[in-house]
Structure 1
Amino acid sequence: MNKSFNPSVPPVRPAARPGRKLGPITGTVGSAHCAWLEPMRETYLLSGLTLSELSIRMRLAKSKLSELLRGTGLYPRWEIVFSLATELQMPYWPLYRLWRQAAAEAHKSREWIERSSERTALTTTHAVPPLDHRAFRELVHDDYDRYAQVFILDADLCDTAVSDTFDILWLRWNNALASPDIRRFAWSVLRATVMARTPHLDGRPELARAAFDTVALHALTTDTERMQQMAESLELFKAMSRLPEHQLDVMVLRRLCGIAPVDVSALMGVSLAAVRSDERHAVHFLESVICPQTETEGSSA
């Protein structure tokens, strides 16, 4: 995994546009809907096109376009999303997959989904990701999957989260290439996608279920040993969920996935020194939470 992947391209700057500024995405939009809506908004804002221009090209009212790009109103039919994607020159296939998934999560029936897209023929022109996207996916896929499995125990949901990550990256590939570090950009997409499907307790990712699937637990032979190890694992995982984001990710990759520090550095797009520092601070915090009495007794002696 210790490989560099950060093609150098000039930064993409949003073009100035006249007229009223597009409002934010409404707070009621779900994570699956945001998965394709945010890249579409991002592409629109960078395109230099105005809602008036798009309205004329698409023969759709500006108010409807604004609703679509803000996630207000009813969940949009695919033919409208496809029409806007065509004007913005976005790849259709990842957008369509994400749109279908969000439609299902919006409780749209299978018949509605099929009827909504039956008039739109998807060409194969945009069916294959860019070559560098495919190379990047091959490089990081297995490690992304191992990370996701820690948080999402359902195999199908885990596969979906990782697949969605690469679809979102495909939609945002130009922005990823223009970012300071493509690996760091991609990791932020993976983390957001995984966390959207991770159960949370008091605003923190719930890792307790993963404690029942630890290597240490399976290596034990007696029920007493398993119960003791399970209690220790539950306490450790509960404490881990309180770590800051970067420290939690480093600990998951290092201690639960068994990835070497240099490879964690390459995977997350951060320096090796930062990885070691995050791990050191995380271990110190966990020891202070899990073994405070032992430390106090040792200092008193």
Structure 2
Amino acid sequence: MYRYAVSVNASLIRLPEWRKALSESRFHRIELSCGQYLEPQETKELVELVRNADELAGVETASVHLPFCPFEKFPYPAGEKEREAVAEYLAEFIRLTAPLAAKNYTFHTSIEPVRPEERGMLLEQTRPVIASLVRAAAAAGASLNVELLPRTCIGNCVEELQALTDGMPEAAGICFDVNHLTGDGGLKRVPEFIDRLRGRLRSFHLSDYDGVDEAHWLPGLGLLDWPSVMAAIRRVPGNPLLIFETAVLKPCSGRPREITPKQHFRNLESAAFYLENCGELDRRIATAAIP
């Protein structure tokens, strides 16, 4: 059976008001999202904060999102030495964050744009990076989950995710971001693609979108067929982690604007209620509690 978690950016977890709001919410698991490059000392300080903050005493770090930007720090189309340096940095990042005891690491494999003629070469070059990180994650008792990415990124379809993970050890998984299928009718094919990948699926990033580009809206505010998506998720074996990865914005208010931490977590609680009941409830009911 799956478990819910919420993505919290490393910059926000440092703020006492965000930690307090999280501790008062119904969520007891997080993905610590470290998308921005961190120096080793910064990583150590972040780990100490997450481990020792009073407000986080009852919160499990179930997943850690590995850094992937700024893109110039992670130049996958570059030479072999640069790719090896990226793999070494990220493997060390996994070792430094191992005290958090996360069972999942999310790996963003690609910068963009990627030209069609580069795709085969980049897929081949990315596999050794993944293999190195899988070893580091396995040593930490975790799964390294290659993320389904949007647009022209490497890993933007079922076939490429399979090419990146086939033949890899059991510790190589996939993180399926349901708002990242941005081409070839991907919006309607999300349940199908979940079924095709379910043997490797360890985690999901949950949010809604318009089918054109990633939006990270709250579930129920876009065009995803959530009853079908949730039915497919329930067919995934094991105990996948369902991570809400939504924008910290007030929805349906004309011009988007920031909301309070407490409102953000309340919105996600409403979203979880909607996902658990979307086969029976009209989405207007599910979103009525969103401030």
Q: Does TM, normalized by the shorter one, top 0.5? A: no
Greater radius of gyration (CA)? 1
Considering Cα pairs closer than 8 Å and 6+ residues apart, tell me whether 1 or 2 has the greater RCO: 1
TM-score, with normalisation over the residues of structure 1? Answer: 0.28
TM-score, with normalisation over the residues of structure 2? Answer: 0.29
